[in-house]
Amino acid sequence: MKEFTFKINGAEYKCAVEEIEAGKTNVTVNGKIYTVETEVAAKPAAAPAPKPAAAAPAPKAEAKPAAAPVAGGMQVKSPLPGSVIKVLVSEGQAVKKGDTLLTLESMKMENAIMAEADGTVKQIAVTPGQNVMQDDLLIVLG
Which pTM does this prediction carry? 0.52
The pLDDT value recorded for residue 30 is 78
Both 70 and 10 in a single domain?
Answer: no
Tell me, yes or no, whether 47 and 17 share the same domain.
no
Strands annotated E in 1-142: 2-8, 11-17, 24-29, 32-37, 61-62, 66-70, 73-77, 82-87, 94-95, 100-106, 109-114, 119-124, 131-132, 137-141
Assess whether 52 and 82 both reside in one domain.
yes
Q: Say what the pLDDT of residue 8 is.
A: 76
Say how far apart CA 73 and CA 11 lie, in whole Å.
36
Amino acid at 69: P
pLDDT digits (tens, 9 = 90+) for 61-120: 544 445 444 455 789 999 999 999 999 999 999 999 999 999 999 888 999 999 989 999
Counted domains in the chain: 2
Same domain assignment for residues 22 and 91? no
**pLDDT bracket for residue 13 (50, 70, 90):** confident
Residue among 104, 16, 99, 101 at smallest CA distance from 60? 104
- Residues 26-71 have pLDDT tens digits of 888 878 888 888 765 555 555 555 555 555 555 555 444 454 444 5
Residue 128: its pLDDT value, please?
Answer: 93
Residues 71 and 96 placed together within one structural domain of the fold: yes
> Do 34 and 46 reside in the same domain of the chain?
no
Beta bridge partners of residue 93, listed in sequence order: none
Beta strands across the sheet bearing 82-87: 61-62, 109-114, 100-106, 82-87, 131-132
Statement to judge: residues 11 and 55 lie in one domain: no
What letter represents residue 19's amino acid?
Answer: E
Clarify whether residues 84 and 14 are in a common domain: no
57 shares a domain with 25 = no
CATH number where 110 lies: 2.40.50.100
Q: What is the pLDDT of residue 68?
A: 46
Mean residue pLDDT across the chain:
79
pLDDT of residue 124: 93
- The reply to whether 25 and 58 lie within a common domain is no
The domain of 78 spans: 42-141
Q: In this structure, are 101 and 62 located in the same domain?
A: yes
Identify the residue with better confidence: 24 or 95.
95
